[in-house]
Structure 1
Amino acid sequence: MRVALASFEFEGNTLSSQINRRDTFSRKVLVEGDGVLPAVEGRDLAVTGALEALRKEGLEIVPILVAHGGSGGVVEGAFYRETLDRIVAGILKQPVDGIFLALHGAMICEGETDPEGALIAALRAALGPGIPIAASLDLHAHVTPRMADNADILVGYETYPHVDAHGTGRRAAELLAGALHGRIRPVTRLRRIDALLPVVGGSTNGDAPMAQVRELARRIEADGRALAASYFPVQPWLDIDDLGIAGVAVTDADPAAATAVAEEIVLAMWDRRRAFELACLSPDEAVREALDRPARVLISDAPDCVGGGAPGDAPAVLAALLRAGPDAESAVLVVDPAAAAEAFDLGIGKTARMRIGSSLDPRFHPPVETEVVVESLHDGHFTYTGGISAGTPGQMGPTAVLRAGRLRIVVPTYATYEYGDEQYRAAGVDIRDCKIAVLKNPMNFRTLLDADTSWVMVGGAGPTAPDLASIAWQVKKRPFWPCDDQQQPVFMENHRDA
């Protein structure tokens, strides 16, 4: 039996000003046909986990296309439609018995607020009801009825920080193989509540609220109540009306049980909603707090999270560091293609007064103007050492390291998803030697913590503002938690249960 293998992954953000086109994907992963397997084999990706599981089951792989654009704003409509058409046409070129898709689940496109649902529905319309479709999803997927109605199997990441993309792809593919071999008859059901949860409190580690939901889901699976139970606290920075937290369950030919499990999962998130809120500081408060602590401190610049779709160009923490004038080594990263180009024109060792930051999205902060020395210049290439992109290349483009006193400012041309400290290391900066280092993410920085390192989090305005109630929602209709103090859950639809 033959299984088509494809990936189309991107996390969107309608609060971001970016339009993401083909070049966004080609800088990361964009391959088709014979180029697919060499690009994904041996990686720690969802599509790789699926590939290995399907091969182990003796199934023939039909590689179609792999596209991964990371995170950003809205995907250009023409590129999305072209890629969707290529996936569908590639699958229709030869007979297949099943389909595996690696998706993020929170892509947003020009003219389409449910791109993954549209893709799955297009495949279902083209192939009919007899071909099983399985998809892996990010934990922050915006799961829709169109996705659940047209896919046989939906399985989400278990972890945040994300460390189980490979395992999630494997789990979804194992269920697909079970369906193809006649061992199971999978059905997927969805339940959603009209609520959003702050990402900053969404860790699945320790005794955090999502860790408790994770434990519940694994217990449900261990008890045999579902083949897969997934929780989706959703990417919250999508100003669309059809958005809410979700539970999804896959069972063996038992739709009523799947609906019950999905509802139990989403209610578990709702019941813990208040525990997701964490205190944040202003940039100046965060820097003062970091300087007052005796050991190393990581500052999370949560409102400018590149992994959540922000451009990474906010200079708010940079400005606070310059005002404080730390007498210990510190490091901050600010994406600014114009400043990077200027530094390359100046050359290493040159001094200049430069404007840094807010060159991509000037809505939230003014740029910072300061005198700097061009310390070093780099090509911006690196390889991810962990997380959902482990083993894959990253490309910041021409990257400058500027020095202002004891502060190093890393200035890349392009924003890249942060997992650990790969970007700093690619620029020759070892943040282990820094009293203060700034990371533009609200969660993955925790992989860098140790007994001698603490952290503080910055709040405020930005494309990934941690305070969801502070956002001026234009499309999503009120009331909904946390903008409104609702006491009872409001389910978004009555999903089919038969």
Structure 2
Amino acid sequence: MKVAVASFEFEGNSLSLRVARREDFERLGIFSGAAMLEMAAGKQLALTGGLDVLTTESVSIEPIVLARCVSGGHVEDSFFEDMKARITDGVAAAMPLDGVYLALHGAMICGTEKDPEGVIISAVRRTLNDPDIPIAVSLDLHAHVTPRMARDAQIIVGYETYPHVDAYQTGAKAAGFLLRALRGDIRPVTRIRKYNAIVPVLGGATLGDEPMAQVAAIARTAEAEGRALSASYFPVQPWLDMADVGITGLAVTDGDPDAADAVAQDVLDAIWDRRREFELPAMTPQEAVTAAVAAEGRTLIVDAPDSMGAGAQGDSPALLAALLDVAPDTAAAVYIVDPAAAQKAQEIGEGQTAEFLIGASQDDRWFKPLSVRATVHRLGDGKFTYKGGPASGATTSTGLTAVLKVGGVRIVAGSFPFYEHMDEHYAANGIDIADCKIVSFKNLMNYRKLLGPGVQYIALHGPGGAPLRLQDVDWTHRLRPFWPADDMATPAPAPDCSD
């Protein structure tokens, strides 16, 4: 059996100003052929899980391309078109094929195209020119799944966990179904159901008995009872300002579209029924710092509106301003994207003190730069290796980076946004968070891995590229009524905007 494999992953955000261009993807690397297989080997990526399953079964693998980028606003049109052509040309060159596996995110948007993954899947389907050649797709739990995706891919499987710890297993699951389809053991069909609703990401953990964990249990039960081969839930990346974005239930069954519809509806209703429970308490920066100083132990302050993992710029100075106002002598650490500050620190050197303008260098819609007199504590290249999560073992960089010290506060000024896992970026810059009373994180979930006795968290609310209060966003393209802007007792279906 011969299977073509490709991976093109990016999470968009309509409220973010960041544009992902070729050079942004190249920062993590764009790989093809043998280099793609070498890069994926030993990682915890969905792609790796899929490759390992296919390799174990002695499938002839045709590796096309692997490209990833940190979350942001949208992908530049020209780069997307190049990547789409690269994938379809690779499929065409590998023909004849028995199947295709695509590791995608599911919430990519481009300057023009708002359903890029759907376009890619459809383009692959046309290239195959055979509706019976199965396409298997793995997606992030926050994917914006469209009818076009479900129409042209027989198999779609989403991550089951948040924090994401099962990317590898999801890829393996998708590839496993693909193999079963190739052998003729199953005739997979995928169906989705969607409501015109979005829910906050912060409350979407699948840990313990939290609301999304309850949804996950319903999906796993449907699988265990044989009502579906696979059931997935997609609370969606909520900061996508498009009419057809909404919470989604999805099911894959063995040749039974009606059963797939029923299970998908059950999963969707499980999300809807818990919609109010996804909203968690949050504070302003001033309130959060005041509470953290008074609390026992260490407090992780989650700068939710500026979450780089959600696509925001990572350059909001709001929390830093509150720290310097309320607790300037408290041991604290914050990361902020500010390439100009990092460059200035490099020029004046370690141990030197100067005036810096910090923050709002990438996005000044809500804040202005903060004037700070700081000492250059440490300089570095920002390189670190992830200790866990989907990118476990991979090395990345925040670019030219400087640690600036003001009283007890250490400001890690980096040149690039990145996906925070735990505290790897702080450790790489000589900061042991165990020595800190307050630590800032610009990610909406992975910080939970650092919680425990004597370590609690406080989330921030306020303006930014990833605001918690979705009902307060000035949406342009969403259709009313939708939750949570409208307090609806009965859900409205999400419109189908597929071509």
TM range, smaller chain:
over 0.9
8 Å contact kept, 1:300–1:457: yes
1:21 aligns with 2:21: yes
Q: What SS does the corresponding residue of 2:35 show, helix, strand or coil? A: helix
Q: Deviations over 1:366-398 (max 9, x none)?
A: 111110000000111111111121111211101
Aligned counterparts of 1:389 and 1:233: Cα–Cα separation in 2: 22
Aligned counterparts of 2:266 and 2:409: Cα–Cα separation in 1: 49
8 Å contact kept, 1:19–1:73: yes
8 Å contact kept, 1:334–1:409: yes
Equivalent in the alignment of 1:301 = 303
Aligned counterparts of 1:324 and 1:438: Cα–Cα separation in 2: 15
Equivalent in the alignment of 1:453 = 455
Distance 1:117 1:350, change over 3 A: same
Aligned counterparts of 2:241 and 2:33: Cα–Cα separation in 1: 35
Equivalent in the alignment of 1:257 = 259
Q: What SS does the corresponding residue of 2:242 show, helix, strand or coil? A: coil
8 Å contact kept, 2:196–2:495: no
The CA deviation at 1:493 is 5.4
Taking structure 2 as the reference length, the TM-score comes to: 0.98
Equivalent in the alignment of 1:78 = 78
The CA deviation at 1:478 is 1.6
Q: What SS does the corresponding residue of 1:121 show, helix, strand or coil? A: helix
The CA deviation at 1:325 is 2.9
8 Å contact kept, 2:398–2:417: yes
The CA deviation at 1:171 is 0.4
Q: RMSD of aligned C-alpha atoms?
A: 1.2
Aligned counterparts of 1:160 and 1:94: Cα–Cα separation in 2: 35
8 Å contact kept, 1:191–1:493: no
Aligned counterparts of 1:391 and 1:131: Cα–Cα separation in 2: 34
Aligned counterparts of 1:28 and 1:166: Cα–Cα separation in 2: 18
Distance 1:282 1:26, change over 3 A: same
Equivalent in the alignment of 2:68 = 68
Residue 62 of structure 1 aligns with an amino acid whose one-letter code is E
Aligned counterparts of 1:171 and 1:442: Cα–Cα separation in 2: 26
Aligned counterparts of 1:65 and 1:313: Cα–Cα separation in 2: 32
Equivalent in the alignment of 1:387 = 389
Aligned counterparts of 2:309 and 2:60: Cα–Cα separation in 1: 34
1:44 aligns with 2:44: yes
Equivalent in the alignment of 2:224 = 222
Residue 139 of structure 2 aligns with an amino acid whose one-letter code is L
Equivalent in the alignment of 1:101 = 102
Unmatched tracts of structure 1, length 5 or more: none
Aligned counterparts of 1:310 and 1:113: Cα–Cα separation in 2: 18
Equivalent in the alignment of 2:117 = 116
Aligned counterparts of 1:477 and 1:189: Cα–Cα separation in 2: 23
Equivalent in the alignment of 1:2 = 2
Unmatched tracts of structure 2, length 5 or more: none
8 Å contact kept, 2:147–2:496: no
Q: Deviations over 1:124-174 (max 9, x none)?
A: 111121211001000000000010000010000000011100000000000
Residue 181 of structure 2 aligns with an amino acid whose one-letter code is A
Taking structure 1 as the reference length, the TM-score comes to: 0.98
The CA deviation at 1:430 is 1.1
Q: What SS does the corresponding residue of 2:202 show, helix, strand or coil? A: helix
Aligned counterparts of 2:471 and 2:94: Cα–Cα separation in 1: 50
Equivalent in the alignment of 1:12 = 12
Residue 113 of structure 1 aligns with an amino acid whose one-letter code is K
Aligned counterparts of 1:320 and 1:493: Cα–Cα separation in 2: 42
Aligned counterparts of 2:66 and 2:258: Cα–Cα separation in 1: 35
Q: Deviations over 1:304-363 (max 9, x none)?
A: 010110111011000000001343311111110111111111110110010000100111
Q: Deviations over 1:273-327 (max 9, x none)?
A: 0000111100000000000012111100000010110111011000000001343
Equivalent in the alignment of 2:334 = 332
Q: Which of 257, 272, 276 is the equivalent residue of 1:270?
A: 272
Q: Deviations over 1:2-44 (max 9, x none)?
A: 1111000000001001111011111113111221101101101
Q: What SS does the corresponding residue of 2:10 show, helix, strand or coil? A: strand
Q: What SS does the corresponding residue of 2:403 show, helix, strand or coil? A: strand
8 Å contact kept, 2:404–2:411: yes
Aligned counterparts of 2:393 and 2:480: Cα–Cα separation in 1: 42
Residue 163 of structure 1 aligns with an amino acid whose one-letter code is V
State the 4+ residue runs in structure 1 displaced beyond 2 angstroms: 325-328, 492-495
Identity %: 52
